[in-house]
Amino acid sequence: MRLLPALLLSAACAGPNAERREPGALLEVSCKVPDARIYVDDTFVGRADSLAGRPLTVRAGARRIEVRADGWFTAFRDITLAPNGRGRVEVELRPVPELEPGS
């Protein structure tokens, strides 16, 4: 009988405003520029070489991927991931051209 009040109390603590965990998804981002910095929704998640072949756990839904590297144009990709789904994005960076001498 003492268990019932404890269960009721713990259920009341959760309340209607308790944070609900959204199902996640797996996202793999690859880039051939090893030191490229990878961001998901404006949050740095790692460098291309350390993330190679390693999927990230992210929230399901629309995600924005940004890949930056010195000497390369920044690239953006958008992907929508289903709950408990999996996605892969391969980003190819374009080099920033060097200025011609005398320009």
- pLDDT digit string, tens, across residues 74-103: 999 999 999 999 999 999 999 999 876 665
Tokens of 10: 């713990």
Residue that the structure tokens 């520029």 belong to: 33
Domain for residue 76, yes or no?
A: yes
Handedness of CA 59, 64, 65, 66 (dihedral sign): negative
Q: Is residue 70 part of a domain?
A: yes
| Host domain of residue 55 | 21-84
For residues 28 and 1, which has the higher predicted lDDT (pLDDT)?
28
Q: Is residue 100 part of a domain?
A: no
How many structural domains does the chain have?
1
Helix (H) or strand (E) holding 46: strand 43-47
